[in-house]
């Protein structure tokens, strides 16, 4: 390895082999840092693999932090996210299309707490009414993102991470139509 290669093995605090969170795609692993010539300029790129999605992304090293790429959350932040899912669902009384956009934005923010709020708000216990298809899709996307990061941080399988999240969801207040309705009224008054 030349000194140039050693120097490029760690950039912006990120290094090869490290797991990171990319806002729009979740947890990925930096497999290498390569140099490419684009329009006559040499450009250093992080090559990031998202194994579950069978996807490889190349991100310019200089832009990594400005686009929101970050290290995995610390364990205390993961614990805070798990506490969030134990809370009471906060569902605004706006049109579904507006709420769906807000949920989608939270999921793609890359912030674990925002993602856990979506999981909390869209979770349905077995004794609750069925979700619509789009609610279910957003819930699954948020749960998947949250589980992938928790699995990477706690060095556990994604299945174990999902179980951990669901255990915490079930510690929350019993959610039913009446509870959701009361919460909506409180939020309207606030």
% residues pLDDT > 90 (the chain): 73
Q: Name the residue ranges covered by the structural domains of the chain.
A: 3-71, 75-189
Given CA atoms 11, 15, 16, 21 in this order, what sign does their dihedral have? Answer: negative
Asked if CATH classification 3.90.950.10 holds for the domain at 75-189, the reply, yes or no, is no
What is the per-residue pLDDT across 42-62, written as a single tens digit (0 to 9) for each?
999 999 999 888 999 999 999
- How many CB atoms lie under 10 A from the CB of residue 33? 19
- Greater confidence (83 vs 38) lies with 83
Predicted local distance difference test score (pLDDT) of residue 128? 83
Residue 29 has pLDDT above 60, yes or no: yes
Predicted local distance difference test score (pLDDT) of residue 99? 96
**Of 1-10, 105-114, 166-175, which range is least confident?**
1-10
Nearest to 152 by CA among 69, 72, 50, 55: 72
Asked if CATH classification 3.30.460.10 holds for the domain at 3-71, the reply, yes or no, is no
Residue 71 has pLDDT above 60, yes or no: yes
The reported pTM is 0.83
Predicted local distance difference test score (pLDDT) of residue 10? 58
What's the average model confidence in pLDDT over 54-78? 94
Does residue 33 contact residue 16 with C-beta atoms inside 8 Å?
yes
Nearest to 170 by CA among 162, 180, 158: 162
């Amino acid at each position: 390895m030349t000194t140039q290669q050693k120097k490029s093995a760690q950039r912006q605090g990120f290094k090869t082999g490290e797991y990171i969170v990319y806002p729009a795609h979740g947890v990925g692993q930096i497999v290498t840092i390569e140099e490419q010539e684009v329009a006559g300029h040499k450009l250093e790129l992080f090559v990031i693999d998202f194994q579950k999605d069978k996807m490889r992304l190349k991100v310019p090293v200089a832009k990594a932090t400005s686009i929101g790429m970050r290290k995995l959350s610390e364990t205390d932040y993961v614990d805070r996210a798990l506490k969030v899912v134990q809370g009471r669902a906060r569902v605004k009384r706006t049109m579904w299309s507006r709420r769906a956009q807000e949920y989608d934005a939270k999921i793609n923010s890359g912030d674990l707490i925002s993602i856990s709020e979506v999981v909390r708000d869209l979770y349905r216990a077995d004794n609750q009414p069925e979700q619509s298809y789009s609610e279910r899709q957003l819930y699954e996307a948020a749960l998947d993102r949250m589980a992938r990061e928790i699995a990477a941080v706690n060095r556990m399988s994604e299945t174990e991470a999902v179980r951990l999240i669901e255990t915490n969801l079930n510690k929350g207040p019993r959610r039913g139509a009446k509870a959701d309705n009361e919460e909506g009224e409180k939020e309207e008054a606030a």
